[in-house]
C-alpha cells in the first residue's frame, strides 16, 4: 500500500518587479501637465481684452428730393435723383483702408416739408478703428473720428 500525499500548496507572491510605479508616475505627470495647460488658457482668456463694439447711429436728411411713402415707419423716401434713398437701403461703415466694419439699414424716416430725414443703425462696430467712413447705398462716404461715430453722425444730401 502506498501513501499518497496531497501536493504542497504553492503560494504565489504578487509581482514586485516595479512595473506599477513608472506607469502611475507617467499618469500623474500627464494629468498635471493637462491641468496646467487648462489653467494657463483660462488665465490668458481672462486677461485678453474682449473686442469692444458700439452701435453707430445716425441720420441722413435729403433736401429737395422727398416724396411720400406708404411703407410703415417711413413717412417719405428719396425722389428726383435720390430714388436710391428708400426704406431698407444699405448703410456700411468702413475704416480708412476700406475694410468694412459693419453694415446696417435705413430704419425709418420722417418728413418735414421738403426734407426727408432717415434714421439708421449699424450694430457691432469695433472701437479703435483707424477712422469710420459711412456710406449709404452707392453714394460716396463721409469720414468721422471715433468720438463722433459713437455719439451719432448726421449727413445731408441735396441742395
Query: What confidence tens digit (pLDDT) does each residue in 68-125 have?
Result: 888 899 999 988 889 999 999 999 999 999 999 999 999 999 999 889 999 999 999 9
φ/ψ bin of 98: left (φ > 0), alpha (ψ from -120 to 50), beta (otherwise): left
Provide φ and ψ at 102, rounded to 5°.
-175, 160
Q: Is the pTM of this model over 0.85?
A: no
Write down the pLDDT at residue 17. Answer: 58
Write down the pLDDT at residue 79. Answer: 86
Q: What would the mean pLDDT of 9-28 be, rounded to a whole number?
A: 61
- Name the one residue in this structure whose C-alpha cell is 482668456: 45
- Name the one residue in this structure whose C-alpha cell is 494629468: 31
Asked if residue 136 has pLDDT above 60, the reply is yes
Q: What would the mean pLDDT of 124-149 be, rounded to a whole number?
A: 94
Write down the pLDDT at residue 52. Answer: 94
Range among 13-17, 28-32, 56-60 with highest mean pLDDT value: 56-60
CA distances from 39 to 28, 34, 44, 63 (A): 16, 9, 9, 60
CA neighbor of 125 nearest in space, from 50, 55, 49, 51: 55
104 in Cβ contact with 153 (< 8 Å):
no
- How far apart CA 148 and CA 157 sit, in angstroms, is 19
Amino acid at each position: 500500500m502506498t501513501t499518497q500525499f496531497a501536493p504542497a500548496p504553492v503560494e504565489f507572491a504578487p509581482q514586485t518587479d516595479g512595473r506599477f510605479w513608472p506607469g502611475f508616475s507617467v499618469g500623474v505627470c500627464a494629468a498635471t501637465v493637462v491641468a496646467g495647460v487648462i489653467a494657463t488658457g483660462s488665465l490668458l482668456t481672462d486677461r485678453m481684452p474682449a473686442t469692444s463694439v458700439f452701435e453707430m447711429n445716425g441720420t441722413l436728411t435729403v433736401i429737395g428730393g422727398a416724396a411720400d411713402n406708404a411703407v410703415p415707419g417711413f413717412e417719405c423716401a428719396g425722389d428726383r435723383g435720390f430714388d436710391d434713398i428708400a426704406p431698407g437701403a444699405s448703410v456700411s461703415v468702413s475704416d480708412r483702408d476700406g475694410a468694412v466694419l459693419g453694415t446696417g439699414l435705413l430704419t425709418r424716416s420722417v418728413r418735414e416739408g421738403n426734407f426727408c430725414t432717415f434714421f439708421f443703425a449699424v450694430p457691432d462696430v469695433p472701437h479703435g478703428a483707424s477712422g469710420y467712413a459711412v456710406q449709404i447705398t452707392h453714394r460716396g462716404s463721409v469720414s468721422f473720428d471715433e468720438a463722433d461715430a459713437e455719439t451719432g453722425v448726421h449727413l445731408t444730401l441735396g441742395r
